[in-house]
Amino acid sequence: MDEKRIAELKQAVYEANMALPEAGLVKLTWGNVSTIDRDEGVIVIKPSGVPYAEMAPSQMVVTDLEGKPFSGQLKPSSDLATHVILYQNFEGVGAVVHTHSKWAASFAQAGRPVPAYGTTHADAFYGEVPCTRQLTEAEITRDYEGETGNVIVETFRGNQVDAAAVPGVVVRGHGPFSWGEDLKQAVENSIILDEVAHMALLTELLGGKETIPDYLLDKHYYRKHGANAYYGQ
Amino acid sequence: MDEKRIAELKQAVYEANMALPEAGLVKLTWGNVSTIDRDEGVIVIKPSGVPYAEMAPSQMVVTDLEGKPFSGQLKPSSDLATHVILYQNFEGVGAVVHTHSKWAASFAQAGRPVPAYGTTHADAFYGEVPCTRQLTEAEITRDYEGETGNVIVETFRGNQVDAAAVPGVVVRGHGPFSWGEDLKQAVENSIILDEVAHMALLTELLGGKETIPDYLLDKHYYRKHGANAYYGQ
Amino acid sequence: MDEKRIAELKQAVYEANMALPEAGLVKLTWGNVSTIDRDEGVIVIKPSGVPYAEMAPSQMVVTDLEGKPFSGQLKPSSDLATHVILYQNFEGVGAVVHTHSKWAASFAQAGRPVPAYGTTHADAFYGEVPCTRQLTEAEITRDYEGETGNVIVETFRGNQVDAAAVPGVVVRGHGPFSWGEDLKQAVENSIILDEVAHMALLTELLGGKETIPDYLLDKHYYRKHGANAYYGQ
Amino acid sequence: MDEKRIAELKQAVYEANMALPEAGLVKLTWGNVSTIDRDEGVIVIKPSGVPYAEMAPSQMVVTDLEGKPFSGQLKPSSDLATHVILYQNFEGVGAVVHTHSKWAASFAQAGRPVPAYGTTHADAFYGEVPCTRQLTEAEITRDYEGETGNVIVETFRGNQVDAAAVPGVVVRGHGPFSWGEDLKQAVENSIILDEVAHMALLTELLGGKETIPDYLLDKHYYRKHGANAYYGQ
C-alpha cells in the first residue's frame, strides 16, 4: 500500500465525516462516510461509535475491497457491510454516506419514497428517491448490514432506477444512504436528500400533490449533469 | 466603464450573495443575487456554481444590459436570463435575488401564492405573493431561464399586480424570486418572503383561513412605504 | 432628570432589545422593547427601524409618561403608543416587549388564543394567552398603535384576566406583546410565549386537545409566583 | 465525605447540566440533571432557578440518598424529589435528566407515548417510550414532585417495562425524564428522546402509522446493548 495515498484517503474521509454534524445531519455518533480506491484496493471508513469531537484522521479504518479491516486498527463502522455491497453493485460510486437525518429518516419510517416535487430535487435526483421494502426476519438474522445493502440494490434493479442518476435511497424503518463519484458529491447528496425531504413534507402540508412534469425534471437534471450540462464553471 | 464603480458594484453584489447562507436561505451553491446600474450600462451577478466559502468579490460577473458577459470572466449564474427579463420589465428594480429557501419554495412546489395572513406580510408585500403557472415544455425547450422571467412578468401583468408593491413571486415547481430598489431591499425581501411563507403554513396548521382585512393591509404597508410612511428614521 | 439614571435605563433597554434577535425572536428591525420609570417620569424605548447591528445604547429614545419624546433624539419605535397604553392600564408593569416571533404570531394570524396545554405554559402564564378581536377600520384610521393598546386592555378586562398573572397576548392578525415587572421578566415572557405557542401547535398535530387540569395549572404557577413560591433561590 | 470525590461529582453534574442548552433542549433555567453515588451516599443536583450563564460547579447541591441537602448550600432543583424516587426504584440508574424539550414535551402534552417508528428509536429505547397518567389533585397537593416520581415508577411496573431497556418517559402534561447508568448516558438519552419524538411526529405527518417489527427492534437494540453488542469500540 502507498502510505501517502492511505493518509490522504484517511484525511478526506475524516473531513467528510466531520461535515455531517456541521451540516446538522448527524447527532451523537450516528452516521458514517466511506470512500473506495479501487486501484489501491481499499475502502476507508469511520470507526464505530467514536464521538466526532474526539475523532482523528488517523483513526479512520482501512479495509480491503470485501470490507476486511487490515489489522491493528479500531473497529470499523457497524454499517460497513452495507457500504461494501453498494460499492460492489453500483458502478462508478466512489463514496457512500449514511445518516439518520430527520426528514429523510422520517420518509424511511413512513415507508415512502421522496417525491420529486420541485427543481431543487431535480437538480440532484433524476426522479423520486426510492424507499426499500422492509427486511425480513430471516435477512436480519442472517446478515443485517449486508442484507441492507442487498435490499438497496434490489430496489434499484427491480425498479430499473439508475443509481448514478438517483444517488440516494431511504431504507424502510431505518434512514437514508446516499452516494456519489467522490466524497464531496456523496456528502452533498446527503444534504440535498434531507432538504428535499423536508420540502416535500412542507409541500404536502400545503396541499401539494403533483410532482413536477418530466420535461422540467429533465431540464433541471441535465442542466447540472451529463455532456450538455451548463451549470457551474 | 468606470473601474472604481465596477469594483464597488462587485463588492456589493458579493456581500449580498454572502448574506443568503448567513440568513439560512441558501445551502451549497444554490441562490444568486444581481444588481443593475442602468447609467453605467451593466448588470453584476454571482458566478455559476462557485462555493460560497471560496467566492471572492473579484469573481462577480459583469454583463451588459442584455446579460452578455464582458470577456475574460467566470460564467455567470445560470439564472442570469431571468434576472435580465425582470430588469427589462419591472421599472425601478435595482436588484434581484433568487433562492430555494424552504418555505417559499414549498409554496412554489404546491403551486400556491403566499396569502397575506398578517401584518408581517403586509409590512413588505402589499397583498398575496403570486405563484406563476407551470412553464410549458415548449417554453422550457426554447429558453428556460428567459421564459422563467417572462412567466413572472405575465403573472404580474395578468393579475394587474404592481411589482414595486409586491416585490416577490414564487415560480411554480421551482422557488422564489424577490427584488427591490437596491441590493439591501432585495435581500431583505427574500428573508421576509421565506419568513411569511413559514408563518402562513403555521397559520393554516392552526386552522387559520382568513387573510387580514384590506384596511389593515393598507395601514401596515403604507406605514412603511410611500409619501406618508412614518416607520424608520 | 437624573442623567446617570437615564443612562442606566438606556443601557438596560438596549440590552433587552439586543436579546431578542439573540433568542431568535426577531429578524431585521422587527420588534421593540421599552421600560418605564414612574418615579423618574420617563419611558425608554428602541428607536424606529434602526438595524440591531448598528444600534447603540445612546440611541434609545426617552419620552415622558404620555410617550412624548424629549427633543433632539431619534424617532421612537412606531409601536410606542401601544406600550404607553399598557403602562397606563396594567398596574405593576415595568417593561413591554413586542415581536413578530413565528409561533406566537401564527396564533395571532389564526385568531386563536394559546391554550395552556402543559406545565411549561403554566410556569409563566396562569391560563390561556388571549387573542384580541380584530381592530375595526375606524380604530385603525383614528390611532392604530393606540387602539392596539386599547384592544389589549379591553381583552383582559372583558375576560377578567389579570395582566399580572397572564403577562402576554396575541393581537389578531399582528403578533405578540408581552410584559413583566422589569425588562428581564418581559423578555423572558416573550421567549416563553413563543416556545409554548410552538409546543401548542405540535401538541395539536399529535392529536392533543385537552388543556391541563386547573389544579396542575395552579400548582405550577404558584410554584414559581406569589407568597408560597418555592422555585429559585 | 471524600472532598475530592464530591468536587468531581459537582464538576460532572455541572458539565452535564451545561450540555442541555448546548444541545438545544433547554431554555432559560428549565431542566435539571443529577447523579447519584451510592457508595458515597450522595446525590448531586443543579440548584433551583440559577441561570446557566452564571452557574458554577461549586453551586451544585449535594444531598443524602433521601434528597436532604447538606447545610450551607443553595436550594436544590425543585424536581429533586422526582429524581430521588427514580434512584430508589430503578436499579442501576446513575443519573437522571429532566427537560421541557419541545418534541418530547409535546407528546407529554398530547398524553401519548412515543412510538418506536424506526431504528433511531430502537438504538436507545427498547420499545415505545411510555406516557404516565395524569396525576390526581390529591397527589399534587400531597407531594407533587415525589408523586411525579411515583407515577413514573407505576407506569413502568404496571406495563412491565424495564427501565434499564427503556431509559425515558414523558410525564402527562409536563415533559420528559430520562436516565442512564451515568451522566453521559442520561444526557444522550434526553437528546435521543427529543430527536425520536420529533421524527415520530414527522413520520405521522407523512402518513406513517406502523412501528418497526419486533425483530428489527431487537436487532438494533441488541446491536448496541448487552452481551452481544457489536457497536462501538
Assess whether pLDDT exceeds 80 at residue C78: yes
Any chain B CB within 8 A of the CB of A228?
Answer: no
Assess whether pLDDT exceeds 80 at residue A226: yes
**Which three-class secondary structure state does DSSP give residue B36?**
strand
Assess whether pLDDT exceeds 90 at residue C1: no
Q: Across the interface, do D215 and A137 touch by the CB < 8 Å criterion?
A: yes
C106: left (phi over 0), alpha (psi -120 to 50) or beta: alpha
Q: What is the mean pLDDT of chain B?
A: 97
Assess whether pLDDT exceeds 90 at residue B216: yes
Backbone angles phi, psi at C37, to 5 degrees: -125, 100
Please compute, for residue C81, the number of CA atoms within 13 A of its CA located in the half-sphere on the CB side: 11
* Catalytic residue of the set A123, A144, A182, A222: A123
* Cell numbers found for residue C164: 399580572
* Cell numbers found for residue B177: 424570486
Are C117 and C211 in contact by the 8 Å Cβ rule? The answer is yes
Interface of B with A in 32-61 (CB under 8 A): 47-50
Q: Across the interface, do D49 and C232 touch by the CB < 8 Å criterion?
A: yes
Any chain D CB within 8 A of the CB of C70?
Answer: no
Which residues on A lie below 8 Å from D216 (Cβ)? 134-135, 140, 173
> What pLDDT, on the 0 to 100 scale, is given for residue B31?
94
Residue B76 CB neighbour total at 10 angstroms: 24
Residue C123 annotated among the catalytic residues of the structure: yes
Test mutation, A185, A198, A206, chain B, max B CBs within 10 A: A206
pLDDT tens-digit map of D105-123: 999 999 999 999 999 999 9
Burial (CB count within 10 angstroms: exposed 0-12, middle 13-18, buried 19+), residue B71: exposed
Which residues on D lie below 8 Å from A110 (Cβ)? 117, 203, 206-208
For C156-175, what is the mean pLDDT? Answer: 97
Residue C78 distance to chain B (closest CA, Å): 6
Q: Across the interface, do A208 and B173 touch by the CB < 8 Å criterion?
A: no
Spatial CA neighbour of B32 closest among B130, B176, B161, B160: B176
Paired strand residues for D180: D95
Q: Which fold has domain B3-224?
A: L-fuculose-1-phosphate Aldolase (3.40.225)
Residue B99 distance to chain C (closest CA, Å): 18
Spatial CA neighbour of B119 closest among C176, C77, D120: C176
Any chain D CB within 8 A of the CB of C228?
Answer: no
Burial (CB count within 10 angstroms: exposed 0-12, middle 13-18, buried 19+), residue D72: exposed
* Cell numbers found for residue A182: 467522490
Q: Across the interface, do C103 and B202 touch by the CB < 8 Å criterion?
A: yes
Q: Across the interface, do C191 and D28 touch by the CB < 8 Å criterion?
A: yes
* Catalytic residue of the set D39, D117, D123, D221: D123
Q: Which residue of C has its CA nearest to D73?
A: C233
> What pLDDT, on the 0 to 100 scale, is given for residue B1?
77
Are D78 and C230 in contact by the 8 Å Cβ rule? The answer is yes
Which of B110, B135, B141 is closest, CB to CB, to A206?
Answer: B110
Any chain A CB within 8 A of the CB of B78?
Answer: yes
Residue owning grid cell 424506526? D118
pLDDT tens-digit map of A154-191: 999 999 999 999 999 999 999 999 999 999 999 999 99
Paired strand residues for B176: B170
Confidence grade of residue B27 (pLDDT, cut at 50, 70, 90): very high
Any chain B CB within 8 A of the CB of C89?
Answer: no
Which residues on D lie below 8 Å from A30 (Cβ)? 120
C26, amino acid identity = V
**Which three-class secondary structure state does DSSP give residue A216?**
helix
Test mutation, A32, A50, A106, chain D, max D CBs within 10 A: A106
Q: Across the interface, do C27 and B213 touch by the CB < 8 Å criterion?
A: no
Spatial CA neighbour of B219 closest among C153, C142, C68: C142
Q: Across the interface, do A206 and B49 touch by the CB < 8 Å criterion?
A: no
Which of D47, D107, D140 is closest, CB to CB, to C215?
Answer: D140
State which H helix or E strand residue B32 sits in.
strand B32-37
For B97-125, what is the mean pLDDT? Answer: 98
Assess whether pLDDT exceeds 80 at residue A1: no
> What pLDDT, on the 0 to 100 scale, is given for residue D179?
98
Any chain A CB within 8 A of the CB of B133?
Answer: no
Give the total residue count for chain B.
233
Which of C117, C118, C205 is closest, CB to CB, to D201?
Answer: C205
Backbone angles phi, psi at C46, to 5 degrees: -65, 145
Residue D231 annotated among the catalytic residues of the structure: yes
Any chain A CB within 8 A of the CB of D3?
Answer: no
Residue segments in chain D with a per-residue pLDDT below the cut of 50? none
For C62-71, what is the mean pLDDT? Answer: 97
Paired strand residues for C73: none
- Give the separation between CA D58 and CA D80, rounded to whole angstroms: 18
Q: Across the interface, do B199 and C30 touch by the CB < 8 Å criterion?
A: no
Any chain A CB within 8 A of the CB of B1?
Answer: no
Domain spans, chain A: 3-224
pLDDT tens-digit map of A62-121: 999 999 999 999 999 999 999 999 999 999 999 999 999 999 999 999 999 999 999 999
